[in-house]
Amino acid sequence: MLAIVNSVVLVGLEGQSVRVEVDLSNGLPVCDIVGLPDPSVREARERVRAAIKNSGFEFPLRRIIVNLAPGDIKKEGPIYDLPIALGILMAAEEIGSGPEETIYAAGELSLEGSLRPIPGVLPMALALQEIKPGATFIVPAANANEAALATRLKVLAAESLIQVIAYWRGEGTLPEVKETEGPGSYPATPGVNLADIKGQVAAKRGLEIAAAGGHNILLIGSPGAGKTMLARALPAILPPLTYEEALTVTKIYSAAGLLSPGQGLVTERPFRTPHHTASTASIIGGGRFPRPGEVSLATHGVLFLDEMAEYRRDVLEALRQPLEDRVVTVSRVAAAITYPADFLLIGSMNPCPCGYYGDPVKECLCTQHQVAQYRKRLSGPLLDRIDLHLEVPRLTYGEVEDSTRPEDSLTVGERVRAARERQLVRFRGTGVTCNAAMSARQVYQYCRPAPQARSLLREAFNKLSLSMRAHDRLLKVAKTIADLEGSEEITAAHLAEAIQYRSLDWGEAKEAMG
């Protein structure tokens, strides 16, 4: 007898309907799974066999063929355990054909028959509501809150195979889960307040501009000057996630299997801090079975590269494309998968290998050649994509003992939100949410400097030998400074402040870069 149960396959962040076809015939007892299954899918036959037996049902001692259609898409993970078990029991006529409504199922079975959480439920549910609006989606109870974010589906939460079979037979019910916010969120925003950071007025101003316009930023200074604390204070001044942004972040974390059991919508902006020994695949994404990398996990949040010059050259150069396009494509023989990569990059580095080049107190032990080679680890094209280059100098004791309380993150965050709201109004209907994401055409349209500022821009372009990309990014930063002041026009003062944040394009730093 043939039985069919509906399920979903996840390719990147996109889902597609799958038919789990189960055929029972006479022959030697064997269970074969076909349809491009990976090893974890093939192992389902042993999990399903034990789960059916331990749930009080007979596993048929016949020839069983399970086909996962369409057969040209790779099937990964244990998500097909539940539909395979239902299909086998239907084909063996131990349970009926199920309720009349269209039902999709996904879930991993334990040997005792309970349902375990699986990754990728939210993107599956969002895809399913486009494929079959109003369908019923049976998922493990631990995944129900995220699945319920797909509001056009009927999401049912199941704890075990026995519960699902009782519902299938019409002998019981499964609780329907409506959209709700899960308990807590992942990851938590680092709790560093700008008011807790002594001095560094210029660096704090740079953080404010970066947050207001979504600009990438590089902090350069001696060890212990406060670079890491400044970076960890950045998320606190960013505006809250919009619902659409939160949904995108939750989709990515769901596909990566990083949501906590029972969690719903992620409400905090991500803050990712990969170690400098991380591989290109872990940063950009990929692997044998492609998964989102750190650039995707930091989408709508912050990617912090501490000691940026210590990262491998190929890792840093791989960042160039995501920084420009805000998406990353992982190409494999079978398919090319595109993940979002719309993040704010903040990097920190020492000015030289020993860390004290230009320090007013401690003497640098590096030769000029060593300084130049160290700074060349960040290539010109990569630096071109970083809008703000900020020096973080050593604090004097007078700054350390100063009892004046600096502005806190809440006050700065209010100015940032006001600037972001101006940008949302300006770019309404274009898909752009901040100044840093403007296209070349939008830069020409919205970032036209005043006459006095135009002559300053011309002089800076010629003297600093700016590229066209650096020229546009300079205008974007100037526009953000104008937004913070509530000005529609880019004045010479706005542009002059923006130019001073390109420190690696001029002065001693440029000479050291060779």
Asked whether the predicted pLDDT for residue 513 surpasses 80, the reply is no
Asked whether the predicted pLDDT for residue 512 surpasses 60, the reply is no
pLDDT for position 14: 87
> Any idea how long the chain is?
514
pLDDT for position 505: 54
Q: What is the mean pLDDT of residues 411-428?
A: 94
**Strands 336-340 and 327-331: what pairing?**
antiparallel
pLDDT for position 12: 84
Asked whether the predicted pLDDT for residue 287 surpasses 90, the reply is no
- The string of pLDDT tens digits covering residues 4-54 is 999 999 888 888 999 999 999 998 899 999 999 989 899 999 999 999 999
Q: Where are the alpha helices (DSSP H) in 312-446?
A: 313-318, 320-325, 368-375, 380-384, 397-401, 409-426, 440-446
Q: What is the mean pLDDT of residues 323-336?
A: 82
Residue 210 half-sphere exposure toward CB, CA atoms < 13 A: 31
pLDDT for position 337: 86
Asked whether the predicted pLDDT for residue 511 surpasses 50, the reply is no
211-215, 270-274, 331-335: the lowest-pLDDT one: 331-335
pTM > 0.85: yes
pLDDT for position 508: 40
pLDDT for position 187: 45
**pLDDT over 70 for what percent of the chain?**
95
pLDDT for position 191: 67
- Comparing CA positions, the residue from 293, 316, 465 lying closest to residue 377 is 316
Output the six-digit token pair for 215.
């600009």
**pLDDT over 90 for what percent of the chain?**
63
| pLDDT category of residue 72 using cuts at 50, 70 and 90 | confident
Q: What is the mean pLDDT of residues 274-291?
A: 88
Asked whether the predicted pLDDT for residue 188 surpasses 60, the reply is no
pLDDT for position 474: 92
| pLDDT category of residue 333 using cuts at 50, 70 and 90 | low
When mean pLDDT is compared over 173-182, 188-197, 446-455, the highest value belongs to 446-455
Output the six-digit token pair for 297.
């996990």
- The string of pLDDT tens digits covering residues 352-405 is 999 889 888 888 999 999 998 998 899 888 988 999 999 998 888 887 887 788
Q: Which residue type occupies 442?
A: Q
pLDDT for position 96: 84
User: What does the mean pLDDT of the chain come to?
Assistant: 89
C-alpha 78/C-alpha 117 separation (Å) is 10
pLDDT for position 504: 67
Asked whether the predicted pLDDT for residue 407 surpasses 80, the reply is yes
C-alpha 138/C-alpha 147 separation (Å) is 9
126-140, 189-203, 210-224: the lowest-pLDDT one: 189-203
Asked whether the predicted pLDDT for residue 509 surpasses 60, the reply is no
CB atoms within 10 A of CB 367: 11
Asked whether the predicted pLDDT for residue 185 surpasses 80, the reply is no
pLDDT for position 290: 80
**In Å, how far from its chain's centre is CA 127?**
19
C-alpha 507/C-alpha 332 separation (Å) is 44
Asked whether the predicted pLDDT for residue 475 surpasses 90, the reply is yes
Q: Which residue type occupies 127?
A: A
